Structure 1
Amino acid sequence: MPVSDALSKEDEQLFTLHGMWCTSCALAVEGSLKRLEGVREVSVHYPSATLCISGTPAVIQLSTLAPKVKRLGYRLTELEPVVDAHGRLEEESRYLTLRLMVGSLFGMWTMLASLLIYAGALPDHQVELVVAWVSGAFSLPVVLFAGVPFYRAGWRTLLAKRPGMDVLVSLGVIGAVMVSIWLLWRGSSEAYFDTAVMLIMLLLVGRLVETLCRHRGLKALDSLALPDDNIKVWQAERWESLPVGEATKGMRIELASGELVALDGMLEAPGWIDTASLTGESLPRHLHAGQKVYAGCRYLGATPIVMQVSAGVGKRRLDLLCDEMRRYQAEKGELQKLADRFAAWLSPLALVLAMLTLPGALLFGLGWEDAFVRALSVLVVACPCAVGLAVPLASLAGSGQAMQQSIALRDPAALETLARIRSVALDKTGTLTTGSHSVMHWQAREGVGEPTLQRKLSAAVAGSEHPLAQALARWSSSRGDQRPGQYLQVNDTPGEGRRVQLNSGEWLTVGSAGWLARQQIALPAQAEDATLDFASQVMLADDTGWLATFYLADQPVKDAAASVNNLLAAGYVVAMISGDRQGAVSWLGERIGLGRDACYARRSPEAKARLLQALPSPTLYVGDGLNDTLSLAAADVGIAPLSASEAAREGAAAQLMAAGVGSVVKLLCIAKRTRRIMVQNLFFSALYNTLALGLVVLVAIPPLVAVLAMAASSLTVTLNAARLAWSDPDEND
């Protein structure tokens, strides 16, 4: 399989952006860098802290961009290794946890003091005033320590001229504290320290959960990393153990039987290599001396062989796939771009309304106290709690429905995209098929019965490492009575066939048609069936001559045909993309109801991803192998079946917990219903914001009432999302 020598373009770079606090930070950096001359496109992926930038090579260099980013308060570095990304997120988690602990400790007393005042449980006004001051004192550590990240992020986004929600939150917190101190100074006990504490604590909890989810998302990249073990290297006229990271191009290393290949290289001797992890081929390949083998494959030979390193750690094909995967992650889909545009004007609009309320109230004859309180109420009402809950709650309910259908969603937000899917691409081996060959047809010379055929076949293939030989052994095991060790002689020709001499003196020959012909064994016309040329063919001969031909194929999973038909009937564009040979792919396509033009064979991981992006979007990809991780990242949504490798499972947004692919159809139905609830929730929250903002500008509403209004709007979207959780999961749209 050819490998791409240049996965990254000359005018595109990937960097790691440090110091981001939220998506507003990502938008601020994007907006600032887009204004640079020579920059064509900028995309900052907040979950992975990755900046993808394209444009004039001289402009998009780190030395040029880093000073500009630093002026905004962030730090730009070369793309960090996955291990460093884990360390960064762990540090962020500790940072958030500390602030959350401080906020919980002191905020609890602030809330308790405020509750005593609101409930009228204190004997007189003087005591209420003292308790209000105590409430303010306990709120100071929360405001001055726990809330610092919000102020910092708000200031940075203001510098970048892209104010986000952190600006709104910061002004709400600062405004609540300032108004409270002013009211206390004037002798009023109606302070609003609890409002400031609630805003900070709720948002800190949300940030911590978000950080933990980002940490989990890195596991997809972890799975692409090979173990950092020692390898055997030929140095100083002897074999020595050396860390894999120290191996360089040109070194000779030894591969033991069953060992995972750690580096790219050229074989110095022939051997069996399992390439399924990178190519998707259903059968191991017998590579000859001089052929290239890639890291991530596995050596299956019985004796050790030697290979010459052609690419060390960091330049292996697997490393390039990892970089390409991070590039796909950094790109934004249309839905994310729409959300970014919405966020770009929502916060400034709310900020302007709050700022206009103060002079407007004064113009209408209200006093300074009432005007300040009304402006604070606008800030509190404008905080998008209901908008923030609208989609996540519906996603959570939809995720519960999916779990009932044996579908585990790693990213509940993917439900929104799943509802809009137009194209479904499916891997072949291990996804649409069982991943194990079986005998689908056999034909023998006249007069040979099945018991005799099974007995001889069992003797011929016993002990062979070839996957097809093992499949033939399973087929013949019910009647075969031969066992390894009953041979007088065994002659193996790797990749072609074998000859065995039994104790009786009889010779049995098993292998490909071409190999049998080279052994001077005549093959009659009935030895081959042209209608079965898509299958793997194995022939068996005895001393008399040709004995039988067996046709083996990787059979489709039970629900493959029904699932594909349901997808086609629902109007989806369905395609099968595989690294396997054309004959096997076309045959499977016919079995499950796909036309030849929808079946793509012999596609490398890179070609799979490119083909997937050419399909109508949004796209869904279902794959199970290491060779599918790039496509899972390139797709709008990736799904891993039950038998998927760890790399595929960690790179997918959803995992099927039941055999087959029928759950994909169920998931798409659940997603459509979930999206309908999301749209309703967004409508309810938008209606609330419109009415609440209009009402709070015209009528004097205390901040506490504004908080209660926020709670009421949140309850509305919560109950609506609960309808989805309580409904029948089998109910379709």
Structure 2
Amino acid sequence: MWCTSCALAVEGSLNRLDGIHEVSVHYPSATLCINGTPAATQLSVLASKVKRLGYRLSELEPVADAHARLEEESRYLTLRLMVGALFGMWAMLASLLIYVGALPSEQVELIVAWVSGAFSLPVVLFAGLPFYRAGWRTLIAKRPGMDVLISLGVFGAVIVSVVLLWRGSSEVYFDTAVMLIVLLLVGRLVETLCRHRGLKALDTLSLPDENVSVWQNDTFQSLPVGEVSAGMRVELVSGELLMLDGTLEAPGWIDTASLTGESLPRYFNVGQKVYAGCRYLGVTPVVMQVSAEVGKRRLDRLCDEMRRYQAKKGELQKLADRFAAWLSPLALLLALLTLPAALLFGLGWEEAFVRALSVLVVACPCAVGLAVPLASLAGSGQAMQQGIALRDPAALETLARIRSVALDKTGTLTTGSHSVLHRQARAGIDEHALQQKLSAAVAGSEHPLAHALARWLSDERDQHPEQNPEQNIEVNESPGEGRRVRLNSGEWLTLGSANWLNRQQIVLPSQAEDPAMAFASQVMLADKAGWLATFYLTDQPVADAATSVKRLLESGYVVAMISGDRQGAVSWLGEQVGLTRDACYAQRSPEAKARLLQALPSPTLFVGDGLNDTLSLAAADVGIAPLSASEAAREGASAQLMTPGISGVVRLLGIAKRTRRIMVQNLFFSALYNTLALGLVVLMAIPPLVAVLAMAASSLTVTLNAARLAWAEPDEND
């Protein structure tokens, strides 16, 4: 497509088809989003309709193809701009000599005027060809737009100039036609570069086409990644980039930095799912069973979803489209009325035509058409560079107006895994002996709290390495309650909850429980002498939770934590992250969460990661899924954080505010320009060349204002 008028023409043409409910064409990304009956939305049906307008419709193109298309468009524009600039320069110079009266006689001026016309021919016939083609297509679609005005302006300037030359006058307007084409080509080129810049954000979600080692015929063979299907087994060697999603058949260390931004690699166990874009760091090769081939990987889905949702338009874009839709026909009508009106007021044919020509040129709604989509594309690109995948860029407009931010607890504000917060032990117990017994008691347990105790012991051992660790040789376990283990020394240890230890006939002294730690999960350890120690574990807040909540509160948002967890744990976490007790809501069912969310000042934003959060994500005006979110939560969210923590929420709100600010600026000034310019050009004589410069300046200002957002460095303090 050549411009936003092309997009509106395609929309208008497809809207007239039977069975079509909604059509949205996003010009910057050249994407069509259509809603209708299955029969009406077949590619073959839509493509044939679009082809009659002179456009080509195909399946959503890969990011690499989109880059190639935009590079081709850039070369196409550059060639025409070079021709326009080269010949236009001489045409303008010739006109300038006439305007300033630098020529010795009227005969020489007439010759120079003919020279100006000759130099303008390559510009008009070659450089301006895309405008005429687009104008004809939009006329066919019965949606005349800016290219119709441009074409009429160019042809009008040339025709008036030829008539004047034929009458022996050197007051020609070839420079107007040349300047109109050249300046608009400059604007189109800058706009294409901005679109290219916006697509570069998707590069982080694309992977190169490389060969992978696949198990076939009892040996590993090298195959192109595109030929690998789900269920196949591929070999990963140290340092290799994962090209496919899958599950590991052996444990290993995985660097997830490229996908999640985590600086430290993570240890994945057998059966855990890993995603394309990560890197295997293990020493020995491991085998991975493919769960999603090329086109169905998590990265592919994110990329496609982002580009599909880019075609959806927000309220500001719809407003801009409506304004541009009636502006072009209005300009044509005013131009037609200006000609006879000027004649009625006693102006000559020449001046009347010049007035009508100025109306056509100055009314071109290029800036209005570009005001919102370029800013939206730039904002989406900024979000991706900040580690936030926007599944619905139209949500940027809503995000800029958010008043309330509600946060889930487990997995969103917390890490999702417990750690030791406090412990108390029997008087006189040796610290090293306590650690040895605890290590033996948790060894081999699959309970999450036992894993947390094992991690705590591992950290302690880094500071005080064990010399002769105790080992268990017999285990009696009650799943979910506790376990008894016999050490190689013959001593029995009991590990579990207070209730379970009581049932094991173990007497717990008063100091075994600390009332101030009632919010934490308790694990008690006992030996042959009775109670030995109590460990208090909590799900710790993510590293950036407190700073992020503080920044949200300072920015004036209503911030709440809504959780299904017990009151004590929720209140404790609220204190840790800086929320007051009345802003922390505990023991809420999924339905209660959604109802509470709707009672907050709207528009609302909800951040949640679990299955129980899907209802709240749908109830909120905008939903965001953190990095560790479940598949259901990701599907229900408008955006997904690709980095750990919740600081991405703060960054996204800042980006949304900047984007909407630029959208409103662009829309206001472009609409103001067109409205005032049309009024002025009808009431007073404005030379066509001045009208050209004003129109081009308006379009270029809108484009550069959007580019300011695309090229700006991320502002951490926004």
Structure 1 partner of 2:537: 551
The count of aligned residue pairs is: 666
Residue 603 of structure 1 aligns with an amino acid whose one-letter code is G
Structure 1 partner of 2:143: 162
Contact 1:438-1:475 within 8 A present in 2 as well: no
Residue 336 of structure 1 aligns with an amino acid whose one-letter code is Q
Residue 53 of structure 2 aligns with an amino acid whose one-letter code is L
- Gap change, CA 1:354 and 1:451, over 3 Å in 2: farther
Deviations 1:67-121 (A, max 9, x none): 1111110111122222222222221122122222222222233333333333333
Q: Does 1:188 align with 2:188?
A: no
Contact 1:325-1:633 within 8 A present in 2 as well: no
- Gap change, CA 1:708 and 1:84, over 3 Å in 2: closer
Structure 1 partner of 2:194: 213
Q: CA deviation at 1:384?
A: 4.3
DSSP-derived class of the 1:76 partner: coil
- Gap change, CA 1:311 and 1:39, over 3 Å in 2: same
The structure with the largest alpha-carbon Rg is 2
Q: CA deviation at 1:47?
A: 2.2
Q: For 2:680 and 2:199, locate their aligned partners in 1 and report how far apart those are by CA, in whole Å.
A: 45
DSSP-derived class of the 2:221 partner: strand
Unaligned runs of 5+ in 2: 587-592, 598-605, 707-714
Q: For 2:234 and 2:470, locate their aligned partners in 1 and report how far apart those are by CA, in whole Å.
A: 36
Q: For 1:628 and 1:220, locate their aligned partners in 2 and report how far apart those are by CA, in whole Å.
A: 23
Structure 1 partner of 2:551: 563
Contact 1:233-1:239 within 8 A present in 2 as well: yes
Q: CA deviation at 1:698?
A: 4.2
Q: Does 1:603 align with 2:607?
A: no
Q: For 2:697 and 2:296, locate their aligned partners in 1 and report how far apart those are by CA, in whole Å.
A: 56
Q: CA deviation at 1:704?
A: 3.6
DSSP-derived class of the 2:126 partner: helix
DSSP-derived class of the 1:44 partner: strand
Q: Does 1:371 align with 2:371?
A: no
Deviations 1:2-29 (A, max 9, x none): xxxxxxxxxxxxxxxxxx1122211111
Q: CA deviation at 1:245?
A: 2.2
Structure 2 partner of 1:14: none
Contact 2:176-2:689 within 8 A present in 1 as well: yes
DSSP-derived class of the 1:135 partner: helix
Residue 83 of structure 1 aligns with an amino acid whose one-letter code is A
Residue 105 of structure 2 aligns with an amino acid whose one-letter code is D
Query: How does 1:497-576 map onto structure 2 within 5 Å?
Result: 549=535, 551=537, 553-556=539-542, 557=544, 558-566=546-554, 569-570=556-557
- Gap change, CA 1:43 and 1:714, over 3 Å in 2: closer
DSSP-derived class of the 1:72 partner: coil
Out of 93, 103, 110, the position equivalent to 1:112 is 93
Deviations 1:311-362 (A, max 9, x none): 4322345534443333322222222222212211111111221122223333
Q: For 2:396 and 2:175, locate their aligned partners in 1 and report how far apart those are by CA, in whole Å.
A: 36
Q: For 1:472 and 1:240, locate their aligned partners in 2 and report how far apart those are by CA, in whole Å.
A: 43
Contact 2:441-2:495 within 8 A present in 1 as well: no
Residue 697 of structure 1 aligns with an amino acid whose one-letter code is V
Q: Does 1:472 align with 2:469?
A: no
Q: For 2:72 and 2:189, locate their aligned partners in 1 and report how far apart those are by CA, in whole Å.
A: 12
Q: Larger deviation: 417-426 or 557-566?
A: 417-426
Q: For 1:538 and 1:299, locate their aligned partners in 2 and report how far apart those are by CA, in whole Å.
A: 36
Q: For 1:121 and 1:439, locate their aligned partners in 2 and report how far apart those are by CA, in whole Å.
A: 89
Structure 2 partner of 1:702: 687
Query: How does 1:111-130 map onto structure 2 within 5 Å?
Result: 111-130=92-111
Query: How does 1:2-401 map onto structure 2 within 5 Å?
Result: 20-226=1-207, 228-255=209-236, 262-265=243-246, 295=276, 305-384=286-365
Unaligned runs of 5+ in 1: 1-19, 646-655, 722-728
Residue 118 of structure 2 aligns with an amino acid whose one-letter code is A
Q: For 2:180 and 2:293, locate their aligned partners in 1 and report how far apart those are by CA, in whole Å.
A: 51
Q: CA deviation at 1:371?
A: 1.8
Q: For 1:510 and 1:283, locate their aligned partners in 2 and report how far apart those are by CA, in whole Å.
A: 35
Q: CA deviation at 1:209?
A: 2.4
Deviations 1:388-431 (A, max 9, x none): 898899999999xx99xx99999999986654345657698998
Contact 2:110-2:168 within 8 A present in 1 as well: yes
- Gap change, CA 1:97 and 1:523, over 3 Å in 2: farther
DSSP-derived class of the 1:446 partner: coil
Q: CA deviation at 1:305?
A: 4.8
- Gap change, CA 1:163 and 1:479, over 3 Å in 2: same
Contact 2:313-2:394 within 8 A present in 1 as well: no
Q: For 1:600 and 1:71, locate their aligned partners in 2 and report how far apart those are by CA, in whole Å.
A: 46
Residue identity over aligned pairs, in percent, reads 65
Deviations 1:36-83 (A, max 9, x none): 111222222222222222222122112222211111101111222222
Contact 1:325-1:629 within 8 A present in 2 as well: no
Residue 12 of structure 2 aligns with an amino acid whose one-letter code is G
RMSD across aligned positions (CA): 6.0
- Gap change, CA 1:452 and 1:78, over 3 Å in 2: same
Q: For 1:398 and 1:328, locate their aligned partners in 2 and report how far apart those are by CA, in whole Å.
A: 14
Contact 1:438-1:553 within 8 A present in 2 as well: yes
Residue 186 of structure 2 aligns with an amino acid whose one-letter code is V
Residue 563 of structure 1 aligns with an amino acid whose one-letter code is R
Q: Larger deviation: 97-106 or 220-229?
A: 220-229
- Gap change, CA 1:391 and 1:307, over 3 Å in 2: closer
Q: For 1:143 and 1:713, locate their aligned partners in 2 and report how far apart those are by CA, in whole Å.
A: 22
Residue 380 of structure 1 aligns with an amino acid whose one-letter code is V
- Gap change, CA 1:457 and 1:51, over 3 Å in 2: same
Q: CA deviation at 1:35?
A: 1.0
Q: For 1:523 and 1:295, locate their aligned partners in 2 and report how far apart those are by CA, in whole Å.
A: 53
Q: For 1:541 and 1:257, locate their aligned partners in 2 and report how far apart those are by CA, in whole Å.
A: 44
Query: Normalised by the size of structure 2, how large is the TM-score?
Result: 0.71
Q: For 1:392 and 1:211, locate their aligned partners in 2 and report how far apart those are by CA, in whole Å.
A: 12
Q: Does 1:693 align with 2:678?
A: yes
Query: Normalised by the size of structure 1, how large is the TM-score?
Result: 0.70
Q: CA deviation at 1:149?
A: 1.5
Residue 90 of structure 1 aligns with an amino acid whose one-letter code is E
- Gap change, CA 1:212 and 1:671, over 3 Å in 2: closer
Q: For 2:51 and 2:70, locate their aligned partners in 1 and report how far apart those are by CA, in whole Å.
A: 20
Residue 620 of structure 2 aligns with an amino acid whose one-letter code is L
Contact 1:576-1:600 within 8 A present in 2 as well: no
Query: How does 1:718-733 map onto structure 2 within 5 Å?
Result: none
Q: CA deviation at 1:452?
A: 8.1
Deviations 1:168-207 (A, max 9, x none): 1222122222222222232222222222222222222222
Q: Larger deviation: 225-234 or 81-90?
A: 225-234
Q: CA deviation at 1:32?
A: 0.9
Contact 1:458-1:472 within 8 A present in 2 as well: no
Residue 248 of structure 1 aligns with an amino acid whose one-letter code is S
Residue 117 of structure 1 aligns with an amino acid whose one-letter code is I
